Each structure stands twice: as C-alpha cells, then as structure tokens.
Amino acid sequence: MKQNNMLAMILAGGRGSRLHDLTKKVAKPAVSYGGKYRIIDFPLSNCANSGIDVVGVLTQYESVLLNSYAAAGRRWGLDTKDSGVYILPPREKADANLDVYRGTADAISQNIDFIDTYAPEYLLVLSGDHIYKMDYDEMLDYHKEHHADATIAVIEVPMKEASRFGIMNTEEGGKIVEFEEKPAEPKSNLASMGIYIFNWKLLRKMLLADMKDPDSNHDFGKDIIPRMLEDQKTLYAYKFKGYWKDVGTIDSLWEANMDLLDKNNALDLADSSWKIYTQDTDALPQYIGAQASIERAFITQGCIVDGLVKNSVLFTGAKVAPGAKIIDSVLMPGVEVEEGAVVTRALVADHVKIGKNAIVGSADSENIELVAKRVKGEE
C-alpha cells in the first residue's frame, strides 16, 4: 500500500541525562509514560495513524532495549508489505569511517543510502522524546499547499518561557523569516517542536554539503535551517494546537503523567480514532482489594491495589499493599509498595521496592523525588 510518499526518521539517540537514573540503562525515548506506554510509542503511533509506511529510528545511546522494542513494527501496525520500522544505529560503511552521529543532521546524512532505497518525495524528521498526538499527513498537506521547501511544526508557548525554545519568527501567512535558538529577547512565541518536513531532493543536497563543512555542528536547528533561510528557501511554520510535552526532566515527566488525571484532558488517550499503540502485556486486569481507596488515578492492567491511591499514575504490574498510601506520585512498571509505606510527590523507577512503613517524598517538596533504589522498610 503506497500511502503518502513520505518517509519518517525519528531521532531517538538522545540520552536525556536530566532524567538521571531513569536513563541510566535506556535511552530517553524508551522511558515509560502514562501507565503502559513508552515515549517513543507516540511518534511511532502518530506515523502509523498518519499513513506513513516506512519509519527509520535513529538510535545511539543505550540502544539495546530501544532497538528490539522499536523493531517490532507490528505493534504499531507498521508491518504490511512495503512497510516497516528500521532501526538505524551508526554503522560502518565501505567508503567511510565508522562514526557516531555527530548531530541531528548528521544522523540523517549517514543514512542517505537507506532513504534513497525508498526514494521518497518528502522526508519527515521527528524527535523521539515528545508526547503529543499529531496527524503528519495534515502537515504534509499544508507543506504542499504552500509549495514550501521545508515546513516546521511550531506551538505557541507563553511569551515569558519563549527564551527556552528555538523560536520561529514568521510573517503573516506563516512564512518563516528568521529562526532564533533560545533568544534572550524573543520576538515571537512560536516554538519549534523539532518536527520538520523537507523536500527530500533539496535536503539531500544540503546534507551532502553539510557533511563536508568542518565548521558545522551538523544540527538541524543550528546549521540546516539557518542555511536554508540564508539561501532564500521557502520555509513555513505549521501551527500545532493540542497537547505537546517535552519530558526532559523528572519534574516534567511527573507533570506529564499528572496531566492524565484531569477529566477531558487534552491528550485524550481514550480517543479510539487515534490510538497510541504499545507493547502488549499478558498481565491480568487490575485487581482492586476490599480495603482499597482510589481517587483521581490512572491505573493499568497488572496492577494490584489494596491501599490508598490518590492523584497518581500506576504503571503495569505496580502493587500497593494494604495500608500503603500513594499520593501525587508515579509508580513505574513493577513497583511494589509494601504495607503502611507512604509515597508522596515521588516518581518511583521501574521495579523498585518500597519497604514496610517507609516514608518517601514529601507534600511540600519543591521538586519531585526520584526513587531509583530499593527503600528499606521499618518494622
């Protein structure tokens, strides 16, 4: 099935070092989110739902888990003939030295041969560590309508936060006139979402030149986009409205999970017309005990709740024993909280055990506590 002649490349090589212990063993796109998902499920499901057949996933940092996870294209329905998910770590080639990906643009440059085998008309470049639902096919329509050489998805951010982002300055109609990376005095509040559609032929030419440029950082934001603007290419900003979150820190990852507790929240994971697909687990449905008390919570299969859960998100297989209290917290897959323990404003990492009567986190802490090691109980 030939769909929209656009191939997607997901940049999934980042470590996400501000997520501390969560990304010690796995790359950021493989971090768990929302009870049963991993962050990379979002761009992959968006691709599948947008009618994109071929997706390359560019991995680098701690990629073993991510490689096998993303390679199972069947999970996202990317397994028909002529369709697939390809994992692309840096590889040795006949005519070049083996090199790590030196930047976002270099990751694409090193895979020009892969992209050429599909000869797409358009190339969609995505980042693997954002949480949002977006129809890339609509963005492609916009790109075509404006006869653009490149289209960049942008989102309006509060003006006072704009200096944290790459900002697009546009003229009326959406044409980009200037790009500023983290400007001290921003002129607009349109932040780049790191989602680009390029006409492949043009980008290919530019990447080949960029590879040879010793002064380049080989980065889309720092090098390719400014060069395109210099060359008077037509760049358009595509305004995205909806939920979008970069979960770069423990606090923002926690927040993004808490966002799911609101009624009619903007991410709307329950929308069956735009499902987010993920690895299927064979776990039982949730077992809720006789003494359980649950309010404002997001809980998935495999969980066993016998204690109190309030304002919290429980991931696959999390267990809360009788008398334990989970408040304003996130329990990642396989976490066990024993009797009488109290967890407040904390994010408990995969498979960590919190012992009997232990106290973790506090209601008035400024930051969310990351619990990545077993917490011993008290008798």
Partner 1 sequence: MSRAFGIVNFAGNNIQGNPMQAYRPTGAISFLGRYRVIDFPISNMSNSGIDSIQVYIRRKPRSLVEHLGTGRHYNINSKRGNLNLLFCENGDENSIYSTDLAAYVENLDAIEEMSEEYVVIVPSYMVYTADYEEFLQNHIESGADITLMYQNVDNAKDHFLNCQVLNLNKQKGVLSLEPNHGNVKNRNIFMDTYVMKKEIFLDLIDKGRKLSSVYTLADALNESCGEMDIRGVSHRGYFAAMTDLKSYFDANEELLDRRKARELFHEEWTVYTRTNDSCPTQYFEGSNVKSSVISNGCLIEGMVENSIIGRGCEIRKGAVVRNCVVNADVVIGKDVHVENMVIDKHAKLIHSNQIIAEPEKPGYIRRGDKL
Under the binding rule (CB under 8 A), the answer on residue 327 touching partner 1 is no
Q: Is 181 annotated as a binding residue?
A: yes
What is the distance between the alpha carbons of residues 258 and 313, in angstroms, rounded to a whole number? 7
Tokens in use for 314? 């429980």
Q: Is 286 in the site for partner 1 (CB under 8 A)?
A: yes
Select the residue interacting with partner 1 from 60, 216, 300, 329 (CB under 8 A).
Answer: 300
DSSP state of 375: B
> What's the start-to-end Cα distance of the chain, in Å?
62
Ramachandran assignment for 345, one of left (phi > 0), alpha (psi -120 to 50 degrees), beta (any other): left
278 binds partner 1 (CB under 8 A): yes
Task: Give the whole-angstrom CA distance, residue 79 versus residue 213.
Answer: 38
280 binds partner 1 (CB under 8 A): yes
Is residue 73 a contact residue for partner 1 (CB under 8 A)? no
166 is in an annotated binding site: yes
Closer by beta carbon to partner 1, 149 or else 306: 306
- Applying CB under 8 A, which of residues 284, 351, 365, 373 lies at the interface with partner 1? 284
Q: Which is nearer to partner 1, 291 or 362 (CB)?
A: 291
Which of 141-149, 158-166, 174-182, 306-314 is the region at the interface with partner 1 (rule: CB under 8 A)? 306-314
Distance (Å, rounded) from C-alpha 257 to C-alpha 39? 11
Give the separation between CA 195 and CA 95, rounded to whole angstroms.
31
Helix or strand (DSSP H, E) at 66: helix 64-71
Asked whether position 46 contacts partner 1 by CB under 8 A, the answer is: no
Q: Which helix (H) or strand (E) holds 143?
A: helix 136-145
Q: How far is the CB of 299 from partner 1 (least distance, A)?
A: 6
CB of 174 to partner 1, least distance (A): 33
Q: What DSSP line would sit under 71-97, residue for residue?
A: H-GGGGT--STT-EEEE-----BTTB-
371's CB contacts (< 8 A; 6+ apart) are 343, 346, 347, 348, 349, 352, 354, 360, 361
**Is 298 a residue that touches partner 1 (CB under 8 A)?**
yes
Q: Least separation, in Å, of the C-beta of 360 and partner 1? A: 22
Check whether 182 is labelled as a binding-site residue. yes
The stretch near partner 1 (CB under 8 A) out of 30-38, 118-126, 136-144, 150-158 is: 30-38
276 binds partner 1 (CB under 8 A): yes
Of 24-32, 242-250, 273-281, 326-334, the window that binds partner 1 (rule: CB under 8 A) is 273-281
As beta bridge partners, residue 127 has: 11
3-state SS assignment for residue 205:
helix
36, 130, 325, 353: which one binds partner 1 (CB under 8 A): 36
Return residues touching partner 1 (CB under 8 A): 34-36, 260-261, 263, 269-270, 275-278, 280, 282, 284-301, 309, 313-314
Q: Please enumerate, by residue number, every residue annotated as part of a binding site for alpha-D-glucose 1-phosphate.
A: 101, 166, 181-182, 192
